[in-house]
């Protein structure tokens, strides 16, 4: 249970604030919980939220935002104990827990229409997408060349064909983490009609979360290609730069992402809702969204925020129209979709038809 001292800390104000006259739109604390259901970019999203909260507080004297990071399990326990935030930041796999506790959003909408669909309930907007991530194929060039007859390769075209051996161990062509709420396999399925045969996709993917799959890949004992997220790309690029890893090739997958962080407002009094909507408007403003390049994430607006050539190319891919799931889907439903996607990648036509019916 959260102690009251943590939820409502003593508010300390400088003398020049107390002595200065302000017309305050709001005076009080907005408590923001951040729940990460998928890995971020270079750093956690809480760091970015705290920085934006400070900026917002400066623009809105009298408003204080308390950002608390917690796991899904910690958030559920706090809710069960009667604690609740004013605002909540989360990804797919948690939305079904809080649907009935939220109030609809009536503030300024600046986010792309294709992403907004993920936050709708019965035609009303309850969750605002404010951070975007993407999927990529990360290929070990040594293993891919080793398995190629002529030493050349196209990572997407041949994603299932890079089986090889290392120290007499079988190296699968592809691996990813399927023991998650997100569906990385679907990003691949929507980018290729090719299918895998037995022993080409790591048989343990339903035991892996995102980090497990990454760790197996970088240790060189799982697969030639990792289907990963922006965090995996960031980590692999860093390892290469520090000469801690063999060179990789990268292919950015288009058309689908469920690596989206949303923000919603819990049912609250009108004044708190008003200021919460102003804060969401700030998070989705061009000024705030441009700072997402600092944490290697992407904007949910139609913006170009990167000057780095590598990330600029990925940004181009993600700025194309994207399919996504509704963030309020039940977790069991998401698990079933992960299983269906795997079966489609393995060549099951009925599963492929199911995928086509999802969008």
At 8 the pLDDT is 37
- For 135-256+329-357, which CATH class? alpha beta
- Ordered by start, the domain boundaries in the chain are 20-133+257-312, 135-256+329-357
Instruction: Read off the pLDDT of residues 215-229 as tens digits, 9 standing for 90 and up.
Output: 999 998 899 999 999
What is the C-alpha separation between 239 and 116, in angstroms, rounded? 35
Cα angle for residues 157, 317, 186 (degrees, 5° grid): 55
- Report the topology of domain 20-133+257-312: D-Maltodextrin-Binding Protein; domain 2 (3.40.190)
User: What does the alpha-carbon distance between residue 131 and residue 133 come to, in Å, rounded to a whole number?
Assistant: 7
Q: Above 70 in pLDDT, residue 115? A: yes
pLDDT digit string (tens) for 162-217? 999 988 889 999 999 999 999 999 999 999 999 999 999 999 999 999 999 999 99
| 23 confidence band (pLDDT: 50, 70, 90) | low
Rounded to two decimals, the pTM is 0.92
* Fold agreement between 20-133+257-312 and 135-256+329-357: yes
Tokens of 218: 């970088």
Tell me how long the chain is. Answer: 359
**Residue 120: beta bridge partners?**
125
Phi then psi for residue 163, to 5 deg, are -60, 140
> Would you tell me the crossing angle of helices 230-241 and 309-318 to the nearest 10 degrees?
170
Distance CA 70, CA 176 (A): 25
């Amino acid at each position: 249970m959260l102690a009251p001292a943590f939820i409502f800390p003593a508010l300390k104000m400088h003398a020049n604030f107390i002595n200065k006259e302000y017309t305050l739109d709001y005076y009080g604390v907005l408590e923001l919980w951040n729940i990460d259901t998928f890995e971020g970019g270079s750093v956690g999203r809480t760091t970015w939220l705290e920085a934006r909260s400070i900026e917002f507080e400066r623009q809105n004297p009298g408003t204080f935002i308390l950002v608390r990071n917690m796991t899904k399990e910690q958030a559920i326990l706090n809710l069960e104990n009667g604690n609740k935030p004013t605002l909540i930041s989360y990804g797919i796999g948690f939305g079904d827990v809080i649907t009935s506790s939220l109030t609809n959003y009536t503030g300024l909408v600046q986010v792309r229409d294709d992403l907004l669909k993920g936050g709708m309930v019965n035609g009303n907007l309850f969750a605002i997408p404010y951070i975007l991530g993407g999927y990529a194929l990360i290929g070990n060039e040594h293993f891919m060349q080793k398995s190629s007859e002529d030493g050349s390769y196209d990572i997407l075209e041949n994603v299932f064909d890079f089986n090889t051996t290392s120290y007499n161990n079988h190296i699968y062509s592809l691996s990813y983490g399927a023991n998650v709420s997100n569906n990385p396999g679907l990003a691949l399925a929507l980018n290729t009609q090719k299918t895998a045969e037995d022993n080409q996709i790591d048989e343990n993917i339903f035991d892996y979360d995102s980090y497990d799959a990454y760790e197996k890949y970088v240790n060189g004992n799982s697969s030639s290609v990792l289907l990963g997220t922006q965090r995996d790309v960031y980590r692999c690029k860093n390892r290469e730069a520090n000469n801690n890893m063999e060179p990789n090739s990268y292919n950015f997958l288009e058309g689908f992402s469920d690596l989206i962080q949303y923000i919603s407002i819990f049912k609250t009094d009108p004044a708190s809702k008003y200021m919460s909507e102003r804060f969401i408007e700030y998070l989705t403003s061009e000024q705030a969204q441009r700072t997402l390049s600092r944490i290697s994430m992407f904007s949910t607006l139609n913006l170009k925020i990167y000057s780095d050539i590598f990330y600029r190319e990925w940004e181009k891919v993600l700025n194309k129209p994207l399919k996504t799931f509704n963030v309020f889907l039940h977790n069991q439903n998401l698990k079933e979709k992960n299983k269906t996607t795997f079966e489609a990648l393995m060549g099951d036509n009925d599963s492929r038809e199911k995928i086509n019916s999802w969008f």
